Structure 1
């Protein structure tokens, strides 16, 4: 099976020391990326670790496809115990860092402990340097990127940076790479901040040369020549469809359609797009560099989730206002989905929907934990009672844009996902809108067959995250191509995904998670039946992984 056999670099921040570890046995089993990081986290992070304590580990991983030149492979993974969900979370970022990371010769880099002062960690194939940067305390992501380029000649595509939100322990702080791409969901920026690490830089010339089958070039050519709407509008292309289905969360989830949708939909974004945007080696180019010269804003996006959170869910119908919110989140290092939804909760509590000046002010207040921003920085699950609004989250993670009240399989996914109410864990929405071929589609209403299909999709998405292959490759990948690329039977590959999901669930079980956490804040017909079927098919007891269901340990003697 294709895998990344490169070693693990452990960076002990307390002692400013490093250790290399051979992890090929784990890589061979879990391929790389999320699968490998989940195995490392499961074995190396204490089950009772404080997410913001020194015993938590922040693990960056790449995969074997980052040695390829195929489209859809410009991504990498980061894993830790989340300060937002209190469970294990893996976050996936695009951009241009992944191949620069692979150039160091490492398949994984983990941070443990805490540095005495604010530090940048420079990793190359020749060694590791610890640079104390107390003067960068409170610096924004662009300010830090500018420092690295001016003082060290290190471009932003070789960096992972936190803004003031990460330093201040905002529970949904992101880690930014290439300035505008984010390890977004789950608050991993706060974990990096808790370790007093302002930035990680990666450089070298030691990338492995793995033999990738010629199938990669077929996929690359199709990605380059296909006239796909996402090339023009990104994920926000689905907004009109969601609105027509009564499935666009609006006004802090109190409504399911938005009268101002035309001001924030795909057409509105496309009018502000001024050039193509892509990730490393990807010809699909679905990113959205946008700007508005009149108001002096330039950003990347917004994508659908952000246009929902800072748009319809906040009562805002002007795409430029959403672009400003998006840019502010990138600047301060915030997950733009959670930031927008949490601000929407505050707007609901104050009857201030549509107040864009307030919204933009709140983004900065959250990043610096000033005034009400200190409360909002805790996220919806911890702040909703003080605000007097409903708790629109699962396992502490607030909802993505794809509306479970009309997409029942997506609702089931939100309920049982180890990561909480996140749309990318299974991307079940794609088969219910549908965004796939008719033969792959399912009726959005109802639970029949949904549990079995959800497991298939969770396993496939975990496989993609281990490879690492972008989830938007769905129109270009099939069983034969997975088998050709990874050199294994498709069912064997899906088992890698299944083992990854199982290890995540087992880790969370040891932290106290069970079926009482697999709940939604709204009613769905037969949801309980779907959850029970899901447990039965997974072999879990009331949402808990029994010992006999754990995968055998490839690292055992």
Structure 2
């Protein structure tokens, strides 16, 4: 099986020391990316760790596909214990950092400890004598610097453009529980608060540079060229509108969360639709090596706003869910989150929650003010920075989260299989973990489409999707490759039997679940704030397919006997 290359680089921020160790056996078994990170986290992070304490660790890695030149591979993975959900969380980000990471020559990087002053860490490929080439730089002048300001600083002082930098903005330093680690300025390791983990460690940025990847010789099958060619020639609407292209479809089928989830359609949807986004797009945008080019550089000259996006989830969170019907207002909220370093979904949802409590839906000026208050923990922003789950009672609002993570779009009250996927996902209410919604809109062919109503027959499909996505996140391959990176092509690219890959994906999901079980998670956390007919029966069927206990725990998790985990 093809897998990532290189040793594990451990960076101790407390002592400012580094060490390397081989992880060839782990790479051979888990490919790289999310799979490798999950196994390393299971082995090395204490189950009772404080997410914002020095014993929490954060892992960064890529997979074998980042050594190729094919499309959908400009991504990398990050894993830690989330300060938002309190469980193990993996995230991945696009942009251009992944190949600079492989250039440094490491299979994974582990961050541990915490610095006594604000630091940047610069990672270069090892020299001929084996020196890891890691530089620790105190950067007190970057205290509460925005993401673009950090990139500008390292471009000027080190010749490292934004494509080399992973950093946090003020939100991460201020412990906003949904702060992101930003890469290439506008791409995010989002959802679970990885930026707050950086901030707790007093790590402002980490950069990567080198040419070690040129020494990795992997022979790729013809499928890699076929994938790249089809990405280049595709006429997908996503090339013009990104994921915002689904906005009006979601609205038409009553799957667009609106007015802090009180409704499932929005009368102002046309004002925040994919067409409106396309009107503001001024050039193509992409990730490293990708010919699909679905990114959205947008600008509004009248308001002086320039950003990347918004994608559908941001349109939902800062548009329909906030009662805002002007795409430029959503663009401004998107740009503020990128600049300050926050997840747009979690931020938009908690802002929408506050708007409901104040009867201020549609007040875009207040939305933008709240985003800044949250990032700096000023005024009411200090409480909102804790996220929906921790703040909802104070504002008399419903808790629209699963496992503490606020909901993304593709409403499960209409798309019932996606609703089940929100509940089972180890990350929480995240649409990309099981990614069931394409079958229920549908966004796939008639032969794959499913009736959105009900859950009959859906648990096996959900298990297979979660397993496949775990493999994609380990490879690391963009999920927008749907329809191009077929099952057969994925198997060929990774030089593995497809069923074996699905089994590996299942082990990764199970390791995440076992880690969370050890932190107290069980069936009571696989819940929804709304009813779906047959939900409890479907949830039990899901557990049975996975071979788990009916209480949502993995057999043997409390005795270290979890399947696929050996005492070695």
CA contact (8 A) 1:124 1:203 kept: yes
Check if 1:130 corresponds to 2:136.
Answer: yes
What's 1:497 paired with?
Answer: 505
Query: What is the aligned partner in structure 2 of residue 321 from structure 1?
Result: 329
Cα separation, 2, equivalents of 1:501 and 1:320: 39
1:288-326 Cα deviation digits (max 9, x unpaired): 000000000000000000000000000000000000000
Alignment correspondent of 2:563: 551
Provide the residue aligned with 2:130 in structure 1: none
Which residue, out of 178, 201, 208, partners 1:172? Answer: 178
State the Cα distance separating 1:243 from its structure 2 match: 0.5
Query: Is structure 2 residue 317 aligned with structure 1 residue 305?
Result: no
Give 1:229's aligned residue.
237
Distance across 1 between alignment mates of 2:67 and 2:24: 16
* Inter-partner Cα distance in structure 2 for 1:552 and 1:451: 22
Q: Distance in 2 between matches of 1:18 and 1:387?
A: 45
User: What is the CA deviation profile of residues 364-393 of structure 1, one whole-angstrom value per residue up to 9, with x for unaligned ones?
Assistant: 100000010000000000000001110000
Between the two proteins, the alignment pairs up a number of residues equal to 556
Equivalent-residue separation in structure 1 for 2:85 and 2:414 (angstroms): 25
Please give the alpha-carbon distance, in whole angstroms, between the structure 2 residues aligned to 1:103 and 1:551.
34
Please say if residues 12 and 112 of structure 1, whose CA atoms lie closer than 8 Å, have aligned partners that are also in contact. yes
**Partner deviation per Cα, 1:332-381 (whole Å, 9 max, x = no partner):** 00001100000000000000011111110111100000010000000000
Q: Deviations over 1:420-475 (max 9, x none)?
A: 00000011001111111211111100111111100000000000000000000011
Residue equivalent to 1:85: 85
Matched, 1:119 2:152: no
**Counterpart secondary structure, 1:545:** coil
Structure 1 residue aligned with 2:414, among 406, 428, 443? Answer: 406
Unaligned runs of 5+ in 1: none
Pick one of 121, 139, 149 that aligns with 2:155. Answer: 149
Contact 1:73 1:282 in 2 (8 A): yes
Distance 1:61 1:257 in 2: 39
Contact 1:5 1:28 in 2 (8 A): no
Q: After superposition, where does 1:88-99 map in structure 2 within 5 Å?
A: 88-99=88-99
Q: Name which of 418, 433, 454 aligns with 2:426.
A: 418
The alignment partner of 1:211 has SS state of coil
Hey, what's the Cα distance between the residues in 2 that align with 1:372 and 1:499? 42
Distance 1:136 1:227 in 2: 43
Q: In the alignment, is the contact (CA less than 8 A) between 2:507 and 2:564 conserved in 1?
A: no
SS of equivalent residue, structure 1 residue 457: helix
1:205 equivalent in alignment to 2:211: yes
Q: Contact (CA 8 Å) 1:404, 1:410: kept in 2 or not?
A: yes
Q: Say if 2:85 and 2:405, in contact at 8 Å, map to a contact too.
A: yes
CA contact (8 A) 2:373 2:380 kept: yes
Residue 404 of structure 2 is aligned with which of 387, 390, 396? Answer: 396
Secondary structure of 1:280 counterpart:
coil
Alignment of 1:236-315 (within 5 A): 236-315=244-323
Displacement of 1:482? 1.5
Specify the SS of the correspondent of 2:414. coil
Shift of 1:62: 0.5
Give the secondary-structure state (helix, strand or coil) at the position aligned to 2:278.
helix
Aligned to 1:184: 190
Compute the displacement of 1:4 (Å): 1.2
1:38-57 pair list within 5 angstroms? 38-57=38-57
Corresponding position of 2:448: 440
Instruction: Tell me, in whole angstroms, the C-alpha distance in 2 between the residues paired with 1:63 and 1:34.
Output: 9
Asked if the contact 1:68–1:212 (Cα under 8 Å) also holds between the matched residues in 2, the reply is yes
Q: For 1:99 and 1:436, how far apart are their aligned partners in 2?
A: 31
Give the SS at the match of 1:103. Answer: helix
Aligned equivalent of 1:430: 438
Query: Matches of residues 345-356 of structure 1 in structure 2 within 5 Å?
Result: 345-356=353-364
Aligned-residue offset at 1:209 = 2.7
Matching residue of 1:195: 201
Listed one character per residue, the Cα deviations across residues 221-264 of structure 1 (whole Å, up to 9, x for unaligned) are 01101111000000010111110101110000001110000100
The runs of at least 4 consecutive aligned structure 1 residues that moved more than 6 Å come to none
* Aligned pair partner of 1:373 in 362, 369, 381: 381
TM-score when scaled to structure 2?
0.97
**3-state SS of paired residue (2:231):** helix
Counterpart of 1:15?
Answer: 15
SS in 2 for 1:440: coil
Cα drift, residue 265 of structure 1: 0.4
3-state SS, counterpart of residue 104 of structure 2: coil
Q: CA deviation at 1:150?
A: 1.0
- Is the CA contact 1:125–1:206 (under 8 Å) kept in the aligned structure 2? yes
Following the alignment from structure 1 to structure 2, what is the Cα–Cα distance between the partners of residues 222 and 313? 36
Structure 2 unpaired stretches of 5+: 127-132
- Residue by residue over 1:62-105, the C-alpha shift from the partner in whole angstroms, topping out at 9 and shown as x without a partner, is 00000000100000000000000000000110000000000000
Name the residue aligned to 1:535: 543
Q: What is the CA-CA distance between 1:153 and the residue it aligns to? A: 1.0
CA distance in 1, matches of 2:428, 2:72: 25
Preserved CA contact (<8 Å) 2:223 2:493: yes
Judge which range, 540-549 or 73-82, deviates more. 540-549
Per the TM alignment, residue 5 of structure 1 is displaced from its structure 2 partner at its CA by: 3.0
Q: Distance in 1 between matches of 2:71 and 2:168?
A: 27
Report if the CA contact (8 A) 1:7-1:106 is conserved. yes
Q: Secondary structure at the match of 1:70?
A: coil
Distance in structure 1 (CA, Å) of the matches to 2:7 and 2:21: 6
SS of the counterpart of 2:212?
coil
Report the Cα offset of residue 212 of structure 1: 2.0
Residues 165 and 367 in structure 1, CA contact (< 8 A), matched pair in contact too = yes
- Report the secondary structure of 1:345's partner residue: helix
CA RMSD for the aligned pairs? 0.9
What are the Cα deviations for residues 480-520 of structure 1, in whole angstroms up to 9, with x where unaligned?
21121111110001111101000000000000000010110
CA distance in 1, matches of 2:529, 2:483: 33
